[in-house]
Amino acid sequence: MRQALSVFGSKSASPLKTIMILALAMSFVVADAASSMAARSSAIVVDAKTGKVLYSSDANGRRYPASLTKMMTLYLTFEAMAKGRISKNTPVPFSAKAAAEPPTKLGVKAGGAVSVETAILSMVTKSANDSATALGELLGGSESNFARMMTAKARQLGMDGTVFRNANGLPDPGQFTTAHDMAMLGIALREHYPQYYGYFSQRSFLYGRQRINGHNRLLGRIKGVDGIKTGYTRASGFNLVSSVSDGNRRLVAVVMGGTSGRSRDNQMAGLINAYMPRASTRGGGGLIAKAGGDNPIKALANVLLPKHDAPTPDDKPMVEDDAVASNDDPTSADEQPADEQTVAAVEEPAPVVKTRKVKTVIVTAPKVETAQMVAAYAEPTPASPPAVDPVNTASVPSGWAVQVASSPKQSEAQAFLDKTARQAPKILASASGFTVAFDKDGETYYRARFGGFGSKDAAWNACNALKKKKITCYAVQQ
C-alpha cells in the first residue's frame, strides 16, 4: 500500500495510472476494515454456577458470530415452544429465500416443510442455514423482522455488544457480537430452557434414510462437554461455545477468531482442563443468566450500541436475576474456508451416539400456517417506532377465526388467549392464537383471536363448543 501511495504522489503518474492506484489503495482499506474484527482472537471462561469470570482475553472485543448466531435463533424457538406458540411437530415452511440459502443446508425445496424438531436438529448438528432462515420467517414473518427480535432479546439478556442481521450467521458486516455475550447466551439457553437443552448434545440424527453427523468434535472427546455451537466464516475465524459439566462444577467457555478448527478446539480443551478445577462446587442456588422477559421492544428501543470495545469485566458478566447452551463442529461443513460457509464433506464424522430418529417427510405446508405462527408469536407491544416492531409488520391469518376478547392492551389480549387455550385445549388443538390491532376513536385496541379454521362451519362449531364452557366468542372471517 505504501508503494501504491508513493507512485500516486509521483508527478509522472498518468491519469489512468492514478485511477488504478487509487482503486488499489481503496481495496487495501476495505480489506483492512473487513478483517479488523478477525485480527485478534478472544476467549472467556465463566463459572456457570456463580457467573464469575475465570479467564478473559479481549472478551468484549467485537467479533463476527458466524453460525453462533443460530444459538439466538434456537433461543427464540425454545421460547415459542415453551409458551405453546409452536410445538416440535409444527410444520416449518421453506420459502424460496430459505431454500436458496448457501450450504451448509438441509436441502428442503421451496414450498416444502419439515417439523420444528427436524429444523432444530439440523441446526445443532449440521448447522443448516436454510432451516435457520425458515424458522426465522416462521416466528418473525420475515427474516429481517426476526433479526430485530433477536437483537431485542439480546438486550433483555444483557448482551449489550451484539447486533443480529439474519437468523443463520451468514456474512453481514452489520452483525457482530462478543465472546462475553456468547457466554451469557450459552448460560441462558441451559438455565431458561433446560427442557430443550438436550438437543445440543445430539451428535447425529436420521433425516429420512440419511444420517446427519454433528460438527462438535469436543462431544465425546472432552469429558463433560454437553454441547453448544461452532461457527466459521473468513471474517470471523473459527468460533466455538462449549458447555461443560463435571460432577458439581459447570463452565461455559467461548473461543472466537481461531486460525483453524483444530487450533481452536485445542485452545478450548486447554481452557476447560485448566479452569474446571477452579470452578465452584457450591453455586447454583439462583439463576445466573439475566431473564429474557416477555417484551423485547422496550429493550431494543432503548439500545445504545457501544462505540468501542469496553474493558473486560473482572467478575460476574451475568446479572443475577431470572433466567441454556448448544452444539456444532470443529473442522466442519460450516467452518470451511469460504465467506458463505461453503459446504464440504464433513471430515472425521463424529461417532454415532444418541442418534435420534425423527419424522422428516417433506410435506406441503398449509399457506396459513406461517402467518398464524407469526401472529401467535406476537409479543406485548407498547408504542414504539415501527422500525423496531417485529409484530405490527407481521401478517395475520386469512380464512375464518374465532374471536374471544378485545383489549386496549396487547398483553391482556395475549393473556386471554393463553387462558382460553388452557381451558379448551381439545377444541383449539388445531388453532393458533394471535392478536390483531385496530383503531377506535383514536385509540389502539387488540382483538384476541384463534385462527386456522378451514371453513365458516368449523369456526362456528368451535365457538359453540367454547360457549358450552362459558367462554364468550364469535366466528369472523378475516
* Residues labelled as active-site residues: 67, 70, 127
Helices marked H in 178-219:
179-192
Element housing 477 (H / E): strand 474-477
Report how far residue 437's alpha carbon sits from residue 307's, in angstroms, rounded to the nearest whole number: 37
| Neighbour-count burial for 212-226, b at 16+ CB within 10 Å, e otherwise | bbbbbbbbeebebbb
| Sequence-ordered alpha helix ranges (H) in 220-341 | 261-275, 296-301
Answer whether 434's CB lies under 8 Å from 370's CB: no
Quick one: cell of 80?
Answer: 415459542
Burial of 15 (0-12, 13-18, 19+ CB in 10 A): exposed
Strands 53-57 and 42-47 come out as: antiparallel
Q: C-alpha distances in angstroms, 105 versus 23, 108, 116, 131, 333?
A: 36, 8, 15, 7, 10
**Cell numbers 450450504 correspond to what residue?**
103
Cell numbers that stand for 266 in this block: 485445542
Length of the chain: 478
Distance CA 11, CA 206 (A): 68
| Start-to-end CA span in the chain (Å) | 62
